[in-house]
A and B are shown apart, each in its own frame.
Chain A
Amino acid sequence: MDVARRLERAARRILEPADAFMNRLYGWRYNPIYHSGALALALLAVVLITGIYLLFFYRVGAPYESVARIEGQAWLGRWMRALHRYASDAAVAATALHLLRMFAQGRSFGPRTLAWLSGLLMLFVIFVAGWTGYVMVWDTAGLILAREGARLFDALPLFAEPIGRTFVGERALPGAFFFLNLFLHVALPVGLGLLLWVHVSRVARPNLLPPKKLMWGAIGLLFACSLFWPAPLAPPADPLQVPDRAPLDAFFAFWLPLSRALPAGVVWALGGLLVAAVALVPWWTRPAAPLKPRPSVVNQRLCTGCEQCYLDCPYEAITMEAGLERDHPVARVHPNLCVSCGICAGSCAPMGVGPPERTGRDQLAEVKALLAARRPTGRELVVIACRHAAGGLADRVPPLEVRILAAECAGSVHTSVVEYLVRAGVGGVLILSCPPRDCWHREGPKWLEQRLFHGREAELKERVDRRRVHLAYAGYAERRAALRAVEEALGKIAALEVAAGETAITLDEECEPASEPASEGVNRT
């Protein structure tokens, strides 16, 4: 196994147990780690709003005094400042989790390269905005940060006059310095909006905000903390004193103790290496040819032009275009946008699209082979488990009464497969998916659930005995939950009559043309 896969696995070893723990506490709907990207965005919105308030009172001519005055406003200013700060800190923490999550799940290369790079750029902007924010206060902590920044930049041949001279204490600091600092602090985050647009430009229906309960819960807690534990304000910066102990923000200044202990050149070299390693992740984690995810292909002869795959693809990798020898538009997959999740394979009733060897037709062939090798007893359970979740059951040897099929994504499972299994006489089918917000491919479980139980196109047909079809969610580290779902399904099968199998099974391979234009995300029933 190469280095990239090993690192990804190591990251998953950290993330998966944490996910499982959070699911137990908050349930998967409100698991903050699942929502870390959206949570970061919600927190940045709080930073923006509180920042606008603070801007009214900040004075470049008397920075420290103006912040002290804000601190003096016991009712509004003090907690606004604290919330501005704590929300930025929490946003950095959430972004770090989001980054770790994307890396651990291998969502860092190919069509996701643009999201990876723009995300890093956003993180960098947040980081610089934080740095300038602390300098703005111009207390001891601000002075320490400004001095260190000047030391590092003076080691580069950038400025005609060393900027460190600004802070020697010979004369008062020019207002121009604070103006420039304020400008950076405000202008950079404005660029975040543009970057965010780029960041989510390749995903369909981005989840920009976390569920309300989670969002307001997090903001409420930070607000309470701001009320009861306001942000510290160190004594004013005095360049003619060796700085006393100052409260530093670990989220933005974690690097400072290391940096101060090293020569500037070494700091630049180490920082440069780290940035290069993270920025080049899309290139060094990209799997080599045999393991590279293969993009979906459309079989134009089968495509009826129903548009369902085009609506379901979570990466907007499919467009409808005029087809050769067809009098209606047909689906076309753009290989450079396709992450090979296979979700379109589950969307297509005529089974005309999907990654090579994973289309509905390929899935059916696999199931037929499984049943040919061992005839259904009418009592067994067939578990279709997502490889990336489902308590890791996809990697396990099952007990006798359970058979396991592995899927890249539960959302890629074609409902015909479920229909075929049930009508062939297996006791029951359990699809074990990841919890919906955990999906490596974003929307797999969401579409699957709608196809199974709410008639979303490529739906499980009415005639299939629903008592024998089960859907459960479990993360990779949630083996107990996965096994419990298996036990429950087996229990339900035991309570039913022995399934009778049909012999000549014919499946419909038709889809109704999409009549409602905006059918995505809406239950058809």
Chain B
Amino acid sequence: MSAAARRLVSLFAAAAATFGVAALSRVPYPPARPEHAAIRLAWRAPGQRMEQCRRATEEELERLPVHMRREEICEQHIFPYRLELLLDDSLVLARTIRAAGAHRDRPLYVYEEIELDPGRYKVTVRFSREMPEGALRGRIEGDFPEELRLEQEADLGPRAVALVTYDPETRRLVIGGNIGQ
């Protein structure tokens, strides 16, 4: 290679590397244009608090200091809720939502997203209290409804997101977002 040719190649290589950096800095993502729509269920619910009590066993009592011995041991939990999403009356999502926190005593967080083809749908969302296994002895606290239910038509264009949330004022599920009423 002559000196001039080498200079040219070296300049070209440096320019190509720079161009490569700038090109890699803008890779289109996702590779295919998504033409779907989505329904997003996202809310935070205080839920219903229950106090579950049971008779303490002999050993448990022995382990406690005398002045703290009680006949009953009670723990507080938030009820789990069953979440169901139906589109045109067919079930597309069913999950049990358990309260957050190690002791299941924090709020219920719902965060689900379902992709679907654009179009008009009858959207049904049910959020209903589940009974845990074992007998419940104790009180239920809180005025969060035992069941929430939303049923509404939504017209979802390409890339539109319908957002279902819980409105603590009216204590109802509401649908919003790009639903093209």
Any chain A CB within 8 A of the CB of B178? Answer: yes
Q: List 7 A-B contacts (CB under 8 A).
A: A165-B111, A168-B165, A218-B14, A225-B22, A231-B25, A248-B27, A248-B29
Report yes or no: A242 in contact with B38, Cβ–Cβ below 8 A. yes
Q: Which residue of A lies closest to B6 (CB)?
A: A25
Decide yes or no: A161 and B9 within 8 Å by CB, A222-B21, A232-B26 being known contacts: no
Any chain A CB within 8 A of the CB of B34? Answer: yes
Q: Which residues of A contact B30 (CB under 8 A)?
A: 245, 257
Q: Which residues of A contact B100 (CB under 8 A)?
A: 160-161
Which of A25, A85, A168, A251 contacts B111 (CB under 8 A)?
A168
The total of chain A residues at the interface (CB under 8 A) is 44
Report yes or no: A24 in contact with B21, Cβ–Cβ below 8 A. no
Report yes or no: A240 in contact with B178, Cβ–Cβ below 8 A. yes
Minimum Cβ distance to chain B for residue A131 (Å): 14
Any chain B CB within 8 A of the CB of A241? Answer: yes
Any chain A CB within 8 A of the CB of B13? Answer: yes
Any chain B CB within 8 A of the CB of A256? Answer: yes
CA distance A162 to B100 in the complex (A): 10
Minimum Cβ distance to chain B for residue A71 (Å): 14
Any chain A CB within 8 A of the CB of B152? Answer: no
Which of B14, B33, B101, B159 contacts A241 (CB under 8 A)?
B159
Q: Which residue of A lies closest to B12 (CB)?
A: A25
Any chain B CB within 8 A of the CB of A72? Answer: no
Any chain B CB within 8 A of the CB of A169? Answer: yes
1/0 per residue A40-56: CB within 8 Å of B? 00000000000000000
CA distance A169 to B40 in the complex (A): 10
Which of B15, B24, B29, B37 contacts A245 (CB under 8 A)?
B29
Stretch at the interface among A86-94, A360-368, A494-502: A86-94
Taking CB atoms and an 8 Å cut-off, the chain B residues in 43-102 that contact chain A are 44, 100-101
CA distance A241 to B177 in the complex (A): 9
Which of B14, B33, B165 contacts A244 (CB under 8 A)?
B33
Report yes or no: A169 in contact with B163, Cβ–Cβ below 8 A. yes
Q: Which residues of A contact B160 (CB under 8 A)?
A: 240-242
Q: Which residues of A contact B37 (CB under 8 A)?
A: 242
Report yes or no: B159 in contact with A242, Cβ–Cβ below 8 A. yes
Any chain B CB within 8 A of the CB of A249? Answer: yes
Q: Which residue of B lies closest to A231 (CB)?
A: B25
Decide yes or no: A86 and B22 within 8 Å by CB, A165-B111, A241-B160, A242-B38 being known contacts: yes
Report yes or no: B109 in contact with A165, Cβ–Cβ below 8 A. yes
Q: Which residues of B contact A232 (CB under 8 A)?
A: 26
Any chain A CB within 8 A of the CB of B172? Answer: no
Report yes or no: B161 in contact with A239, Cβ–Cβ below 8 A. yes
Report yes or no: A244 in contact with B34, Cβ–Cβ below 8 A. yes
Minimum Cβ distance to chain A for residue B83 (Å): 15
CA distance A488 to B37 in the complex (A): 72
1/0 per residue A216-258: CB within 8 Å of B? 0110011011000101100000011111111111110100110
Q: Which residues of A contact B177 (CB under 8 A)?
A: 169, 240
Any chain B CB within 8 A of the CB of A295? Answer: no
1/0 per residue A17-56: CB within 8 Å of B? 0000000111000000000000000000000000000000
Any chain A CB within 8 A of the CB of B106? Answer: yes
Minimum Cβ distance to chain A for residue B122 (Å): 21
CA distance A29 to B159 in the complex (A): 54
CA distance A25 to B14 in the complex (A): 10
* Extra 16 A-B pairs, beta carbons < 8 Å, given A89-B22, A251-B25, A256-B29: A25-B6, A86-B22, A162-B109, A164-B111, A168-B163, A170-B42, A170-B163, A170-B176, A222-B21, A240-B177, A242-B36, A242-B37, A244-B33, A245-B29, A247-B25, A248-B26
Decide yes or no: A221 and B14 within 8 Å by CB, A25-B9, A170-B163 being known contacts: yes
Report yes or no: A89 in contact with B159, Cβ–Cβ below 8 A. no
Any chain B CB within 8 A of the CB of A144? Answer: yes
CA distance A154 to B109 in the complex (A): 11
Report yes or no: B161 in contact with A245, Cβ–Cβ below 8 A. no
Taking CB atoms and an 8 Å cut-off, the chain B residues in 134-181 that contact chain A are 159-161, 163, 165, 176-178
Q: Which residues of A contact B159 (CB under 8 A)?
A: 241-242, 244
Q: Which residue of A lies closest to B1 (CB)?
A: A24
CA distance A93 to B106 in the complex (A): 45
CA distance A247 to B106 in the complex (A): 39
CA distance A25 to B160 in the complex (A): 53
Report yes or no: B19 in contact with A225, Cβ–Cβ below 8 A. yes
Minimum Cβ distance to chain B for residue A507 (Å): 44
CA distance A18 to B63 in the complex (A): 72
Report yes or no: A247 in contact with B27, Cβ–Cβ below 8 A. yes
1/0 per residue A58-76: CB within 8 Å of B? 0000000000000000000
CA distance A221 to B17 in the complex (A): 9
In order of increasing CB-CB distance, the 3 nearest A-B pairs are: A247-B26, A168-B42, A25-B10
Q: Which residues of A contact B44 (CB under 8 A)?
A: 161, 165
CA distance A337 to B36 in the complex (A): 60
Minimum Cβ distance to chain A for residue B173 (Å): 13
Any chain A CB within 8 A of the CB of B132? Answer: no
Minimum Cβ distance to chain B for residue A263 (Å): 15
Q: Which residues of B contact A217 (CB under 8 A)?
A: 14
CA distance A118 to B44 in the complex (A): 42
Q: Which residues of B contact A225 (CB under 8 A)?
A: 18-19, 21-22
Report yes or no: B18 in contact with A221, Cβ–Cβ below 8 A. yes
Minimum Cβ distance to chain A for residue B28 (Å): 5
Report yes or no: B109 in contact with A25, Cβ–Cβ below 8 A. no
Decide yes or no: A25 and B21 within 8 Å by CB, A242-B34, A242-B159 being known contacts: no
Decide yes or no: A86 and B165 within 8 Å by CB, A165-B111, A247-B26, A248-B27 being known contacts: no
